Amino acid sequence: MHYLRVIGVAFCSLPSSDDVSRPIIPSDSFAHQSGFVGGFEIRPAPDGKGMGAFSTVAIEKGTTLGEYTGEVLTRAEVEARYWGTRKESTNDRKWRKSRGRRNQGISGDYLFDMGNDLFIDGEDADVSSWCRFANHADELNDSDEGFDGGACNTEMIRRLSWDEDESQQLRLYMVALRDIEPQEEICYDYGGEYW
């Protein structure tokens, strides 16, 4: 098991001696159900990658597939809850108990740094979207003649949006880098910092 620290939208691993097994995500969770609505199926992925997201329809290059959602955490909360570099508060301990009671993971593997000391934590399947199931694949294989294949078919893009009260919010979306065929696994490059 490892903890993740996120730089931009890339990860970098922090080793941990703990071996925390991954919980089973029930098929009635929001993370699973949001995929069905969006045209994605969540099922075991090849090569021992755990669960993966697979398109059920053809998707054109440039299409926004979905929003990476989850709990919004501050840097202080991430440092206490995942990185162990800050003492846990009463709220942090309540959060940890809630995750355990609901069989939700506490690995830190689903964090995205959104800047301004805010993170999206997609690990809790009760509040995260299907995008949490997208696995890693290497970058696109580009050549002088154009795209020649490659398993990496999406990228994460930050976009600024405005809420009803006209406050700005930075959000994270998954966008197709190329045309995606039905039954193809949805993957993006986690970045060299992750490994």
Tokens, residue 120: 């999206």
Q: Which of 23, 27, 6, 42 is nearest to 99 (CA)?
A: 23
Number of residues that make up the chain: 195
Instruction: Give the Cα separation of 49 and 46 in Å (integer).
Output: 6
The yes-or-no verdict on residue 147 having pLDDT over 60 is no
3-state SS, residue 154: strand
At 145 the pLDDT is 46
Q: Render pLDDT for 81-125 as a digit per residue (tens, 0 to 9).
A: 999 999 999 999 999 999 999 888 899 989 988 988 999 999 998
- Strand 40-44 to strand 64-67: parallel, antiparallel, or no bridges (unpaired)? unpaired
- Strand 187-188 to strand 135-136: parallel, antiparallel, or no bridges (unpaired)? parallel
Tokens, residue 101: 């009671």
Q: What is the DSSP letter of 131?
A: G
Q: Render pLDDT for 22-56 as a digit per residue (tens, 0 to 9).
A: 566 767 776 767 776 778 999 899 888 888 999 99
Q: Render pLDDT for 164-186 as a digit per residue (tens, 0 to 9).
A: 777 777 899 999 999 999 999 99
The pTM of this model reads 0.77
Angle, vertex CA 108, rays to CA 105 and CA 114, nearest 5: 130
Tokens, residue 61: 């290059």
